[in-house]
Structure 1
Amino acid sequence: MPFNAPPNTAAWRHVEARDGFEVAFFHPRADGYRIEGCTTAVEGGQTWMVTYLIDLDSRWTTRSVQVANRTAAGTHQADLQSDGAGNWRVNGEPAPHLTGCLDVDLESSAMTNTLPIHRLDPPAGARVSAPAAYIRALDLRVDRLEQDYTRVEDDGRHYDYVSPAFDFSCRLTYDASGLVLDYPGIATRTT
């Protein structure tokens, strides 16, 4: 299902899992989008912030990610590059554990669950695998995250999401631009 172009900006309030807020800005480019955002939160009594810059190609495949965090312990930075075919480099080094991943998923971000939905267009009832390069909020460690999305209805606005590594599942609700509106237990869209 084709989505409308994203708005210039969107924001989410993080709920239950952490207290926090995320703001993202969407910049159309000739060859895709650049998404610039920031998340701040308190989780388990610890404060942190994460800033990100994500470049996507015209198919919404992640091509590069620059991410930085700040905690009371200091700052970290990470740079990820992808060839768009599932091959990655993390801080300049090959990352074979990410082979086959086409998306980035930031632990700190509700927005990044938008990326695979724009790439995928399964029929209602179809379940698709969308493994992602998963970046942790506190130390920016990059792991592989297996995840599945099942399109629930023909309108393309509801997907059942499963992340076996976290024994987590929920029904995600999206708007006409394919941006997350409701991520149960994680975040809700505020604008």
Structure 2
Amino acid sequence: MSPIFAELPATAAWAHESVRSGFEVVYFSRSGNGFRAAGMTTAVEDGRTWSVDYDITLDETWATRRALVTGRSAAGVRTALLESDGEGRWFVDGEPAPRLDGCFDVDLEASAMTNAFPVHRLKLAPAARSAAPAAYVRALDLTVDRLEQEYTRTTDGEQRYAYAAPAFAFACELSYDDSGLVVSYPGIATRVV
């Protein structure tokens, strides 16, 4: 049975853990037939400080249509604008980005929240698996790359998914709440509100 998610809360927050210390806060609202996620995350990682502001618009299928990302660090302020036609074609700062063809989600290195997008969009039944390549935005320099990743819903009926990102040799089990937001992202973040 595919998941049916509860309404999103007005706000949510996560504490970073292990690889960095810091905090993420997001505010959700409706945007036409879709959603808007506006938030900020700040961290100290390897002795460096950074912050990332984001304003992400999703369509009614939960595909990312626009993401304005602003990063601040000791190196200065950077901005990246990612736009998608909703059919898997992207523009980064107004330029075509064919390396991202076939991606429907944006995944911010700075954010635990963006792992909600593919789970909502895919609506996987228990034991179902799907690739979910994403337009991946790095925290420090806002570099945009393609990130191959995979989600497999567990068979226990709970909102848990085996997650894998082979490029980072990373795999874990993500737990979600009834609204489809990450509660536990082992080694990365824990939901606090």
- TMscore range, shorter length: over 0.9
Candidates 63, 72, 75, aligned match of 1:73: 75
**8 Å contact from structure 1 (residues 66, 77) kept in 2:** yes
Moved more, 74-83 or 24-33: 24-33
Q: How many residues align?
A: 191
Partner of 1:7 in structure 2? 9
Are residues 1:111 and 2:113 paired? Answer: yes
Instruction: Map Cα deviations across residues 16-75 of structure 1 (whole Å, 9 max, x no partner).
Output: 011010000001133200110000000000000000000000111100000000001101
Task: Give, in angstroms, the shift of residue 127 of structure 1.
Answer: 1.3
Alignment of 1:1-191 (within 5 A): 1-153=3-155, 155-191=157-193
Q: Where has structure 1 moved over 4 Å in runs of 4 or more? A: none
Separation in 2, partners of 1:156, 1:133: 27
Distance 1:153 1:179 in 2: 19
SS in 1 for 2:110: coil
Post-superposition shift, 1:156?
Answer: 4.8
User: How many percent of aligned residue pairs carry the same amino acid?
Assistant: 58
How many Å separate the matches in 1 of 2:63 and 2:35? 10
Q: State the 1:123 CA deviation.
A: 2.0
Which letter maps to 1:116? P
CA–CA distance in structure 1, aligned partners of residues 186 and 114 of structure 2: 15
What is the one-letter code of the residue matched to 2:128? Answer: A
Letter paired with 2:185 = Y
Question: Aligned Cα RMSD in Å?
Answer: 0.8
Counterpart CA distance in 2 for 1:31 and 1:129 is 25
